[in-house]
Amino acid sequence: MGLRRNRFGSFVVGEMPEGCRLCVRGAKLVLFLTGLCRRSCFYCPLSSLRRGKDVVYANERPIRSTRQLLKEAELMDAQGTGITGGDPSLRFRRLLRYLRVLKRELGPEHHVHLYCTELSRERLRRLREEGLDEIRFHAWSPEPVRKAVEEGLNCGVELPSLPGSFRVLTRLLKELEGAGCSFVNLNELEFSETNSLELRRRGFRLKSLDSVAVKGSEELALRVLEWALENTELNLHYCPSRLKDGVQLRNRLKRRARKVARPYEALTSEGLLVKGVIEGLPPSELEAGRRRLIRKYGIPPELLSVNRRRVRLETSPEVAERLSERERGLSFSWVESYPTFDGVEVTVIPLPLRGRGTRGTSGSP
């Protein structure tokens, strides 16, 4: 079949794993089950907010219940879930509970894959009985895979592509093939706030100033894939850093944005939401201010709402721009935000835009 770059920008030998197929389309919910882990991999990218902490997130939403998990799945129209951590096996009862609910409420076709380190046969059996579709070990040995395959699970290995590890990786691939492994997923190694000191100490450097990827990681992965073409029957997938941030995340944001956008919010090609914001009214006058603007400018009511938490009115970018030229006592801006649970605002552009003249004085915005 040959080494080929697919339309998402990753490289595949053989078949892409089903879990990755849904992930690159942004259709997988990321269930972070716990930040706990017994290992201390020098390249661990977990943020300081999550590492070592027993917290649960569905995408960016901190959750405490299966109800909140299902809500997040609904808001992004998830077709599958990737359960990750930390090491989710350290909270096994929680893992079984969430897996059971996903399969029961979203249907057996909701594809669930799990990342973990090692599991006993008994636990592997329980996961199979609950309908787990795919298990991915973060392991530099074939032993966890052997056990999981014997217990009837569809099993793969996921590792970072560490520059200088060609011989270790190719030897491991041979052993994994012998153990019945279905696929190996290599990720481009990345600098993060928590691993950068250690990576630098070991001589790793940034690939370029506009990327967090490590120099030489992609070259190593492609060399391993070329080798695999001739030397194994294993399915291999190389996932570059730009795919995760550029394609997978953007697709996931777009899915969620389409579900959660208010009537006055516009969706950007990056999957972010843009709205107009009106500030300068005290909390007690927000409602009256909204009614006045609706009346005065004939704004459709669904295009102007009160955001009490942020003490402001929100509207469409167009309405905000037009009003900014007429309502001198208020301040206006365009705000670009993530369509995620935390709704992080990334860009604020004050209005009116400089260099633009007023657009007439009629009543309608």
Which residues lie near ligand SF4 (CB under 6 A)?
37, 39-41, 44, 46, 85-87, 117, 138
Nearer to ligand SF4 by C-beta: 40 or 208?
Answer: 40
Cα of 332 vs its chain's centroid, Å:
31
- 328 CB-near residues (< 8 Å, 6+ apart): none
Residue 34 CB, nearest approach to ligand SF4 (Å): 10
Q: Which residues is 149 bridged to in the sheet? A: none
Q: Which one, 39 or 93, has the nearer CB to ligand SF4?
A: 39
By beta-carbon proximity to ligand SF4, the closer residue of 163 and 365 is: 163
Please state the φ and ψ torsions of residue 81, each to the nearest 5 degrees: -140, 135
The nearest distance, CB 149 to ligand SF4, in angstroms, is 21
Q: CB of residue 137 vs ligand SF4: minimum separation in angstroms?
A: 10
Place of tokens 């894939």: 225
DSSP letters along 178-225, please? HTT--EEEEEE-B--TTTHHHHHHTT--BS-TT--BBTTHHHHHHHHH
Nearest distance in Å: CB 344, ligand SF4: 24
Q: CB under 8 Å to 116, separation ≥6 — which residues?
A: 85, 87, 88, 89, 135, 136, 137, 138
- Judged by beta carbon, residue 32 or residue 332, the one nearer ligand SF4 is 32
Q: Is 259 helix (H, G, I), strand (E, B) or coil?
A: helix
Nearer Cβ to ligand SF4 (160/339): 160
- Amino acid residing at 347: T
Bridge partners (DSSP) listed for residue 304: 315
Measured distance CA(255)–CA(100) in Å, rounded: 24
Nearer to ligand SF4, 12 or 181 (CB): 181
Q: How far is the CB of 168 from ligand SF4 (least distance, A)?
A: 16
Q: How far is the CB of 159 from ligand SF4 (least distance, A)?
A: 10
Shortest distance in whole angstroms from residue 51 CB to ligand SF4:
7
Question: Looking at beta carbons only, is 38 or 104 nearer to ligand SF4?
Answer: 38
Residues 6+ apart with CB under 8 A from 55: 32, 34, 35, 62
